[in-house]
């Protein structure tokens, strides 16, 4: 009887987890394929797509978070081919002819689904939940920005210099000038949204 109850309970938990995973995946896909995922801010666009990945990582754990990060990467890959822009070269081997574009497109995004969970787990042992969520939101956002730019610099430096209209010797400075403010704004917005959304979900799910 106990085994039956345990098995039934495990099935219920698995189904519940799949529902949550599907919901987060749908949100990521919608944000990644529509203008909803980008907030105009003066001359800049703040990307929102990584935020449900960060929240999913904290709520659902690193394995599910990694899957959500894969969905994030998949939306980038799809949109790079359906609506190509100058930077699509770095995210699609169909455009660049180089399989390293897949590394740029998927690896940082998958890690966005892993890093916040461990940051949050570590931080909440030493500081309160609120600050732990803020730090997780910031580092999750910066994981995406830093790794994407690092991989582009390592694999496609010359092409990126052409896109930014500079020479390769000044590429580092051009990168900071072109994306530095965006990275800060995205990290700050990520901290705010992750803090408030996760605290609300914690109460609903009785998570913490």
**pLDDT tens per residue across span 30-64:** 998 888 887 765 555 678 999 999 999 999 999 99
116 contacts 69 by C-beta, under 8 angstroms? no
Q: What is the mean pLDDT of the chain?
A: 89
Residue 57 CB contacts under 8 Å (≥ 6 apart), including other chains: 64, 65, 68, 69, 112, 113, 114, 115, 116, 117, 140
| Percent of the chain at pLDDT exceeding 70 | 92
Structural domains in the chain plus CATH codes: 2-205 (1.10.1760.20)
pLDDT band per the 50, 70, 90 thresholds, residue 1:
very low
The two tokens of residue 17 are: 């987890």
């Amino acid at each position: 009887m106990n085994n039956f109850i345990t098995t039934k309970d495990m099935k219920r938990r698995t189904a519940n987890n799949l529902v949550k995973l599907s919901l987060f995946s749908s949100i990521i896909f919608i944000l990644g394929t529509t203008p909803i995922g980008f907030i105009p801010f003066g001359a800049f666009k703040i990307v929102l797509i990584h935020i449900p990945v960060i929240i999913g990582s904290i709520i659902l754990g690193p394995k599910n978070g990694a899957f959500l990060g894969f969905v994030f990467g998949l939306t980038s890959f799809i949109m790079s081919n359906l609506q190509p822009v100058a930077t699509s070269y770095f995210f699609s081997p169909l455009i660049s002819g180089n399989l390293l574009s897949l590394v740029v497109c998927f690896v940082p995004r998958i890690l966005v689904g892993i890093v916040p969970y461990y940051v949050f787990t570590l931080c909440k042992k030493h500081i309160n939940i609120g600050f732990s969520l803020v730090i997780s939101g910031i580092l999750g956002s910066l994981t995406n920005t830093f790794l994407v730019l690092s991989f582009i610099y390592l694999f496609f430096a010359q092409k990126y210099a052409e896109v930014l209209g500079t020479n390769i010797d000044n590429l580092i400075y051009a990168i900071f000038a072109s994306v530095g403010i965006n990275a800060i704004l995205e990290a700050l917005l990520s901290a705010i949204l992750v803090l408030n959304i996760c605290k609300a979900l914690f109460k609903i799910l009785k998570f913490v």
